[in-house]
Chain A
């Protein structure tokens, strides 16, 4: 059985301007409205093609071009053109975007290539800990995250044991600022990405401790805005990427209940628009990469609903941090009973049975990814009219996986065909949403790093 049902949003949407002549004057067409209308038109043309064709044809149109994607990804792994020089300080990221995409597609990697990846990343590893953007570059938290996630994705004992965890731990401590937040690199910028990449790496490598966690939650709390989402820095605007980073960090350090989760949930639920994909900020354009950043937040929220419920029914509905800034809340809801080890949080989180249905339109999101972001020759893009790239390929595929598995009660359990848009062969590998690595690979690394 194939699910070829498509989604057509109603004419009433939060993002169409839908000007009402009865209310004052017609709204002036501002830049925001003009850009939005252009995108809506392009998307409508694409979805228009779905009308009036047979279910079989619709299913074909929604088919994931696995072979083409693998071809595009493998080519990039082996050779990149001169224009990629602008990503010369992001090469572990390129490894992660490509290899995680390949893993999501369930494609094996031959040993030789695996060794080449390990060898290359070892040249990016700093002798005092952490990984830089290329051989000989300063260690950087974001590329450290990318390198560690790549090695976890490779999954072999060799790959996992190649990481010098003692030095990595020291590097993470050196990046910790007195405020509790993290710097991207020596004397680098402080923001929510830095906090997430540091905590995620420490968590997955089983080296997360109180020293690293101290006060980072306070910093993230200061970044939650009046809209409900989380900003890159205190005072900035709520943003999908930072909201993912902030929420995942808070979960990993067991302090998610300090956030105003109901307003966060409300904000993120409203980010899915008429185009069926997600936007990153209020009144901004849809972009395929937010399929993961926002879709991932919603997948995390789905498991946090008991905590949201508790916040809603408790007296302080406002969510203001009436909880003192220094108190360290033990959220037994999350970590499971009696678990005192922070590094277990990621493991117990994924083991939690999901009681609720997904909180977003999972079929609509798959429709946007497959029809608007997918490039038939391989790869994915931000939106119609843009070019494909490895970043969007990684985060469109990650978002696709999240939406396919959102109806599963237990992590990684095969979804019903109705949960998967297009042919069932579109089904990707499931991920661990806190780290964004393929679930099997996560389990292998968890076992490996628990031993040592």
Chain B
């Protein structure tokens, strides 16, 4: 991003009558600065005037206008943003207008920490009435980049602080229909449910665990489980639903172990794609949690063992680790470590 465009008609501060009383303050870079930036004249001048009003703590309309210019040149300058908030408060500016300003600048700089922080500050001041606009705004940013980290964090904050849960699961559902590999959307759904039990609680994960409307993780688990299994079967190489599935039983491994559908989906996938790392990995975890494998499952795993037949007292979990060491060479060290550190209750 450069500040060079449409600068031709820019009048320097030094030639603006309303600034004639202000003496610009140059940056104190010292005699031999390191990482010196060859500032363009307009940038340097704007910052010199900014320093002047900042040091004088001048909370005026012209100061507000000056911060607008400074922010447009470098939206990463948190000092300018901070001062702007002081000015906005002092002038009692209508924050709806401020939000419009942020709308434009944020669409051009969607990964800038300061802008999102400023936005949160505005929404917090406006209160619940701001929820719809904020949700709509993040939707626009996510339409460009469905994984924008800041936008998701902002959205979660809005839902938790200002409300607007009603349509969130539908929205996550739509994003997952567009791209079932969008892990951010899986994450968002999760938080929906937790919020029932714990007043607030992520995107797929977020919604399920935190929405006050859905009855919490336990209540949603059955429908979430079938949704997740469907996603896994449609694309077993998609890591997101595999992790999501485990997440549904976080802290509740006994239930995970007793849920037949979980081991069944692993088995189903392995019958067709015998080196599916995610299926093998989930089975390994199940066994570590105390899952008792069926004879069919044992048979399938034994058939996958390509190398030498291990001694009969080998645990099934150990066999799976050995298979993973071969089919997943990137993580062979990890699987070897897992093999040598199996919990005693693992089968």
Give chain A's interface residues, CB within 8 Å of chain B. 9-10, 12-20, 22-25, 27, 30-33, 76-91, 94-95, 98, 113, 116-117, 119-120, 123, 132-138, 140, 184-189, 225-228, 232-233, 235-239, 265-267, 269-270, 272-274, 276, 281-284, 305, 308-309, 312-313, 317-320, 356-361, 364
Contact = CB atoms under 8 A, between A and B. Distances in A.
A360 B332 CA distance: 8
Nearest to A187: B82
Contacts of A308: 341
- Is chain B's binding surface mostly helix, strand, loop or mixed? helix
Given A12-B277, A273-B330, 14 more contacts: A12-B275, A13-B330, A32-B181, A32-B182, A76-B35, A136-B51, A187-B85, A225-B187, A233-B156, A267-B243, A309-B341, A312-B288, A313-B344, A320-B251
Interface of B: 1-3, 25, 27-40, 43, 47, 51, 54-55, 73-74, 76-79, 82, 85, 113, 116-117, 120, 146-147, 149, 152-153, 156-157, 160, 178-184, 187, 190-191, 201-203, 205-206, 210, 233-240, 243-244, 246-248, 250-253, 269, 272-273, 275, 277-278, 281, 288-289, 327-334, 336-337, 341, 343-344
A278 B272 CA distance: 28
Contact of A138 (B29, B51, B79, B237): B79
A272 B330 contact: yes
Contact of A89 (B74, B234, B337): B74
Contacts of A89: 74, 76-79
22 contacts: A14-B278, A18-B237, A22-B272, A23-B236, A77-B34, A80-B35, A80-B37, A84-B38, A86-B74, A87-B37, A120-B34, A138-B82, A185-B82, A189-B116, A189-B120, A226-B250, A235-B156, A237-B149, A237-B187, A283-B183, A320-B250, A360-B334
A225 B202 contact: yes
Contacts of B2: 82-83
Contact of A188 (B54, B117, B149, B277): B117
B35 A91 contact: yes
Contact of B183 (A119, A265, A281): A281
B179 A140 contact: no
B273 A23 contact: yes
B239 A283 contact: yes
B329 A360 contact: no
A364 B180 CA distance: 28
Contact of A10 (B78, B289, B327): B327
B34 A117 contact: yes
Contacts of B344: 313
B179 A32 contact: yes
Which of B238, B243, B247 has most A Cβ within 10 Å? B243
Contact of A226 (B77, B179, B243): B243
A-B pairs, 3 with minimum CB distance: A226-B247, A320-B251, A32-B181
A394 B281 CA distance: 34
A338 to B, nearest CB: 28
Nearest to B274: A12
Contacts of A132: 79
Given A31-B146, A135-B29, A236 B34 contact: no
A23 B233 contact: yes
Contacts of A273: 330
Contacts of A98: 35
Contacts of A140: 78
Nearest to A309: B341
Given A23-B269, A24-B234, A283-B240, A227 B247 contact: yes
A320 B248 CA distance: 13
B329 A14 contact: no
B201 A9 contact: no
Nearest to A185: B78
B1 A86 contact: yes
A79 B36 CA distance: 5
A188 to B, nearest CB: 7
Contacts of A81: 37-38
Contacts of B328: 10, 12, 14
A349 B266 CA distance: 39
Given A23-B234, A235-B202, A282 B343 contact: no
Contact of A30 (B34, B38, B181): B181
A269 B32 CA distance: 45
A233 B154 CA distance: 10
A239 B149 contact: yes
Given A12-B275, A30-B181, A318-B250, A119 B30 contact: yes
A113 to B, nearest CB: 7
Contacts of A282: 183, 239-240, 243
B243 to A, nearest CB: 5
A214 to B, nearest CB: 23
A80 B344 CA distance: 59
A371 to B, nearest CB: 16
Nearest to A390: B35
Residue among B34, B250, B328 with max Cβ neighbours from chain A (10 Å): B34
Nearest to A242: B149
Contact of B182 (A77, A283, A317, A359): A283
Contact of A237 (B38, B77, B183, B252): B183
Given A12-B327, A89-B76, A318 B251 contact: yes
Nearest to B77: A89
Given A82-B40, A235-B201, A364 B330 contact: yes
B278 A227 contact: no
Contacts of A313: 343-344
A93 to B, nearest CB: 9
Given A10-B329, A186-B82, A309-B341, A283 B202 contact: no
B3 A85 contact: yes
Contacts of A31: 146, 178-179
Nearest to B113: A189
A84 B76 CA distance: 12
B153 A116 contact: no
A10 B323 CA distance: 14
Nearest to B1: A86
Contact of B252 (A10, A13, A318): A318
Most chain A CB inside 10 Å of its own CB: which residue of B37, B236, B329, B336 = B37
B243 A227 contact: yes
